[in-house]
Structure 1
Amino acid sequence: MLPIFRLSRLLYRLRIPCLPWLLKVLNRVLFSVSLPPSVRVGRNVTFGYQGLGIVVHRHAVIGSNVIVAPNVVIGGRGRAGAPVIEDDVLIGAGACVLGPVTIGRGARIGANAVVMVDVPAGATAVGVPARILRASRARKPASG
């Protein structure tokens, strides 16, 4: 799935007409993923189950070392702007990240969460609509 996307992205950047979009359709048919060649995807990105059911907005940006579980939507909300997913983010199964939001480095999005606001770095977002939980700090062991 990602090799087909990477080839379509290269052809898109070289401004070769039609072929990038045909490769997008091939990915859609083979893997049930909608990943347009205009999306910027970093290194070591993992799409769960070869991208099964994942839909990504054509202007979205996905950083490096991101894990996207199946049935995730990274999309718009009917106005200008698309999500920006920074590095080291985990997006749980069935989550929706909608609109011009930024998901900060190291953030976690819970399964089936609907995120429509920015998520700070290291935070966790859960629920519908998603609420932001701060990253828990490790407690010091009790001296004894």
Structure 2
Amino acid sequence: MGVPLLPRCLYLLNRILFAVVLPPSVKVGKGVTFAYQGLGVVVHERAVLGSNIYVGAQVVIGGRAGRHEVPVIHDGVFLGVGAKILGPVVIGAGAVVAAGAVVLSDVAPGSRVAGVPAKPIRASGK
């Protein structure tokens, strides 16, 4: 049995209006916020998003060539504008991924990462 009609219609509407690729098969927790109606966001069909996540515009949560696994984003994560989460990575609860970061490896809970490829950073003043 395929995907019900309403989720398919919403998927197509979002894709046309906001350039959002968010397949109905994505597991999304409660309280997930997509900035600017998810403008330019692309999420892999098997990705898992926990609860209370902020997803900035132009974020990509996707696979990586030659890898079957896809990202798992835990609760309370902040994904800055243009962040790319690629491959079999886990973003721990409460982590912050800076704008434009490219995450290719796991991010520890509560940590902050930035850069290409993303690496842990310290908060200013600490």
Common topology (TM > 0.5) = yes
How far, CA to CA, are the matches of 1:34 and 1:111 in structure 2?
A: 19
Q: What residue in structure 1 maps to residue 31 of structure 2?
A: 44
Q: What residue in structure 2 maps to residue 21 of structure 1?
A: 8
Among candidates 69, 90, 115, match of residue 127 of structure 1: 115
Q: Which runs of 5+ in 1 are unaligned?
A: 1-14, 140-144
* 1:1-144 aligned within 5 A: 15-17=1-3, 19=5, 20-78=7-65, 79-133=67-121
Identity across aligned pairs (percent)? 55
Q: What TM-score results when the alignment is normalised by the length of structure 1?
A: 0.79
Cα deviation for residue 32 of structure 1 reads: 1.6
* Pairs aligned (count): 123
**Over residues 72-97 of structure 1, what are the superposed CA-to-partner deviations in whole Å (9 max), with x where a residue is unaligned?**
00000022011000000000001100
Q: State the 4+ residue runs in structure 1 displaced beyond 4 angstroms.
A: 15-18
Tell me which structure has the larger Cα radius of gyration: 1
Instruction: Tell me the amino acid that sits aligned with residue 110 of structure 2.
Output: G
CA RMSD of superposed structures (Å): 1.7
Q: What TM-score results when the alignment is normalised by the length of structure 2?
A: 0.90
Higher helix share: 1
* Bigger relative CO (Cα 8 Å, ≥ 6 apart): 2
